[in-house]
Amino acid sequence: MSQKTAPPKSLEDLPDSEIVSWVLEGFRRTLVHYGYWFGEVETRLGTEKAVKVETEAGDLWWGIMLKRLSFVLGFEIEDNVPKALKSMDRKELLGLLDAVCINWLADDGVWFQAVEKRYGMDAAKACNDACWSRFSPYEALRTKEILGLPDFPGLEGLKTALGFRMYARINKQVIEEVDEHTVVFRMVDCRVQAARKRKGLPDYPCKSAGMVEYPTFASAIDPRITTECIGCPPDEHPEDWYCAWKFTLIP
C-alpha cells in the first residue's frame, strides 16, 4: 500500500510552481475580503456612506498596494499610477479599458453560471437581481463622485453618468431626448444577448434585473428621476434595440 504524502506544514515547504499559485490566491482573497468590507459597511451604514468610506479606504489601499508591488516587481510609480500605463498611447489605453470592462462582464457571467449549474435558474436569477440592486447604485454614486456631479444633476447628469458605466464600453447605447423632462435610453447592441443570438438561443430574460438596475442607478444620480421600462426581454422588441428605458425628471 502506497503511503500518502504528508501535507506541507508551511508555504516555505512548497515548490516554486505552487508558490506562484498562492501568490494568485492572495490576490483573490484580497478581492473577496475587500468586497466583504464594503458589503458590511453598506449593510450597517447605507450605500451612500459606504461609497464615501470606500473612496477613502480604496485610495489609500491602491497606493499601499502599488507601492509595495513596485518594490517587489520592479516597476515605477508616478502620481500613484504604474508609469508603464502612463506611457501607453490612447489606443492602447482604450483597448486596456475595454479588456477590463469585458472581464467585469465575464465575472458577472461565471458567477451566474456557477449558481445556475448547482442550484438552478431561479436561484441564479434571484442572486443576479439582488447583486444588481446593490452594484447599480454603487456604480452611479461612484461615477457621480469621480466626475464631481452635483447632488441633483438632473437628466444631463444622468446622461453623462450612463456614458461612464462599465457597460458603456462594451455595449452600444443611444439616448433620445423626448422633451426637457424626459429621455429614452436604448441598448442597441448587448454583448450578452448578441452572443446568445449568434448561438441561436432566445434572449436572456433580463427584465427582472433591469427593473432594479436602471431605477436604482437613476435615483442614485438624482432622486427626482423616475424610471419606466419600455421593453426588455422577455418582452418583444424591435431589431434595432434589446431594451429601452424612459427616465423622467419630476420637477
Residue from 130, 76, 139, 75 nearest 104 by CA: 139
Contact 99, 168 (CB under 8 A): no
Residues 43-64 pLDDT 10s? 999 999 999 999 999 999 999 9
Identify how many contiguous H helices and E strands the chain contains and give both numbers: 8, 6
Residues 212-243 pLDDT 10s? 999 999 999 999 999 999 999 999 999 999 99
- Sequence letter at residue 242: Y
Task: Kindly list the structural domains of the chain, giving each domain's residue range(s) and its CATH number in brackets, ordered by start.
Answer: 18-87 (no CATH), 90-251 (3.30.1380)
Residues 189-210 pLDDT 10s? 999 999 999 999 999 999 999 9
Mean of pLDDT over the chain: 94
pLDDT score, position 13: 80
| Start-to-end CA span in the chain (Å) | 80
Give the single-character DSSP code of 11.
G
Residues 93-148 pLDDT 10s? 999 999 999 999 999 999 999 999 999 999 999 999 999 999 999 999 999 999 99
* C-alpha 47: how far from chain center: 15
Contact 188, 173 (CB under 8 A): yes
